[in-house]
Structure 1
Amino acid sequence: MESWERSRRRWQHAFFASWLVLTSGGALMEAGQVLPVVLVAGLAAWYAVWFVLRSPPSGDVPVPYVLGGGLLWLGLFAVDSSFLVVGLSVLVPYCMDAVRVGLVAVVSCAGGWLWHRFHANGTITWTEIAISALIAISAATAVGYFNAVARQSAERKRLIDELQAAQEARAAAERRAGVAAERQRLARDIHDSLTQGFASVVMLLEAAQATLPDNKHLTQALRAARENLTESRRVVGALRPGELDECGLPEALRRLSDRLSDETGIEAHTVITGTLRPLDAQVQAELLRVAQEAVANVRRHAAAERVTLTLSYMEGLVVLDIHDDGGGFDPERAASGHGLSIMRERMEQLGGTLLVESAPGAGATVVASLPAVAPIGAR
């Protein structure tokens, strides 16, 4: 949309230049003086300073510009009354943005022209009044049309900016989901290939060592195999929550609540409802991370006495509910923090939702729900 704004500015500059020439050209030729030329050039330079070099935001009215332009116009008007309509050039930058400013310019132009005719001839004919009214009506219609186009363009620009921001946010979420899925894939591949392979090698070398206990090379090979087995398990643990590999999501949640009770004295327990069934590995991993983040928030902020983790198996859906009876908080103010944002992003990446219910002094509830199987695009 920057190109649109530059194009709009160029048309505004052309509008100002043409209007300034139109309103001052004839008067300059009739005046035949140097001072009006200097003042008109000064008005053009003053406009350039504020709208070419500085480029204020659309619709913004710099008061110094209006005052300076008004003084230059008053100087022209003092030299010759025929320069009256030149003053409208000062308002040209706002005719397309503000209807009221445009209408003031139109009325001033019509009234100024009639005053000039009266000043020059001592009278005003009905024909001149009719011509002035027609010009004012036509100009007012043009101002309204230009303003409607400008507002429509501004609204279109806002919608395009919002769409672009949404697309960028979606692309970022997809990148994060891709990274998470790749980490899960690597963890599975390492566990199913290298880790299992090293475990088999260790078992074979241990059997061989039982037959040849004093073989130096066999001992070194066994030590190297054990070290690599340990390292592969460490890498898998870094790539995905280790508790899930050992015991699954329900038991991992029970261990999380037990640790919270043991380490803080908070009464915490886990409830499992519905019929247990296998869940997608990524669904389990993300729900466990949400539970860990929520429990960490309880530790740091809630001052709670009781925490309940509820895992509910529903048809095609799994729901995790973390409730505490602590001090609570304002969800709208807390939404800007990283913890809730990260949890919400994790749910949205897998087609789920995150709901936070809380109020000061009323505890807090975090509800995360996901399809039981992760979407294909999230794998």
Structure 2
Amino acid sequence: MGRWEAYFALVLVSTIIYVLAGGGSWRNDGMAAVLLAALAPWYLLLGRRAVDRAAPHPASLAYLAGAVVLSGAASVAAPESSLVLFALCPQAFMVLNWRGAMLTVLALNATPALRFLLASTTVGAVVSFVLWTAVTMGFSAFFGFWVDRIIRQSRERGDLIAELRATQAELAEANRRAGAMAERERLAAEIHDTLAQGFTSILMLLQAADSQLDRDPAQARRQLTLAAGTARENLAEARALVAALPPAGLESSSLEEALGRLAERFGEEMGIPVEFATSGPPRPLAAGAEVVLLRAAQEATANIRKHAGAAHVSVRLAYGCDAAVLEVRDDGAGFDPDAVTGAARGFGLRGMRERVTQVGGRLEVGSAPGTGTVLTVEVPA
């Protein structure tokens, strides 16, 4: 639009100068110049919106009709005014379809043609005018077709850009929803692996202490002490979740120390021997891998507490060349992994498997009724 309007202004100003410098009657030339100058506000009032519309509009027809009247009256006053048709004729193709544009071009050229034919009688003048008119209309048709093609391409490009923006907005919303869902699942897994298990442990210790208050106050106090320690750890885990920090067990200690404390506390809670051992030279793992191993150990001990009825548990951490392996073994009731499907699998095992997969590791559960259970988690070192 900016280039087109610059061209229109250049042709309009040039035509006015050409008319005023024509050497004719100052009255007629002045009147023609005023009529030509009136095309500028007429364009600003209606023409700009008419040219910019995607389809013909009553305002577009009104603008072209006004342009025909103003340019025709100017050409009656001064024949040189017909030079402005080099700018007005292409506008017809920018506003109307091809057939309507050609009719408008004929209307724009009709008044100058009639005036010239009425004022001229020589054959040479008539031939010159016909050639001049043919050049004007040919240029208008070519330029108008070119402009119309550019406008169509621009509108198609605009539609594609609008569709692209809409698609980008939809993708952004979908990504936002997916991110929110992933965050909810992450928090659900964290709460299940930490707070829910801690509360379960506290509840079991409090129930055990309550049953021992009369018979063995010392044992009851020991269980209450364990419950208080578990509550403090739960509080630390809750604060870590809120602050998006590493698990409280890993924040100020190594993975081996965190697993050792887990095994020791679990043995005290359950009153059974829990063995913890490491093999291979210890080395730091990626933070995500350490979290996965710690959470897997917490989930395994929670399942032993709820389902196994084990008399002995072992927790082993082995460092290899390419991987670190956690093994949690118990001699409890065991189960058939293939028979546990659907909702019976629970959130814990599914969440544990998803955690392990996210860090490129693998999880295996080996068990059978009456033979205990072995849970093995391997993560890249």
TM-score tier after normalising by the smaller chain length: 0.3 to 0.5
TM-score, normalised to structure 2, is 0.47
Structure number with greater Rg is: 2
TM-score, normalised to structure 1, is 0.47
